[in-house]
Amino acid sequence: MEIFLWIIIILLFILSFVGLLYPIIPSVLLLWAGIFLYHFFIDGTPLTLWTWGSFLILTMMIFIADYLASMYFVKKYGASKRGMTAATIGLIIGSFIIPPIGIFVVPFVLVLLTELTQKQPFEKAVKIAVGTLFGFLTSTFAKGTIQFILIIIFLLDIAFFV
């Protein structure tokens, strides 16, 4: 039974990284689900307080990194409110259209078209669309790095402290 649970935990951790490219998959929740599976069904020995605190802080950092990276590039390149909304809608729609390439192409096209309808010059609209793409990529990289750190902390805790 323990081997089966470990397989599920590993699959949850892998799926959390897939969730970086498919925003409809709740990456952080999958990580926490794997951690809880271990904690409640494999080893009742509690993880260290330092580990739980690290999990909480890093989870908050994932949300902050996502927001800050996206907003930094969107504002830096001058996207309108409608452009930001178009980028978000494009990410969701792009997850289903030509996955995973759609999450790059669809938001880019939607932001470009939205900014053009806002009477932006073509060059500026392209610049804004590229900025939203940079924001997504930066945010995804930051979230992936933090998720990787969460997994490493978890594995170190169960290897050395439990």
pTM of the model: 0.84
154 vs 30: CA distance, rounded Å: 14
87 Ramachandran zone, left/alpha/beta (phi>0; psi -120 to 50):
alpha
Question: Tokens 């926490």 identify what position?
Answer: 32
> CA angle, corner 22, sides to 19 and 26, nearest 5?
40
The structural domain count of the chain equals: 1
Q: Which pLDDT does position 106 carry in this prediction?
A: 92
DSSP conformation class of 46: P
pLDDT in tens, 84-133: 889 888 888 988 887 778 888 999 999 999 999 999 999 999 999 999 88
Burial of 90 (0-12, 13-18, 19+ CB in 10 A): buried
Domain range for 131 = 2-160
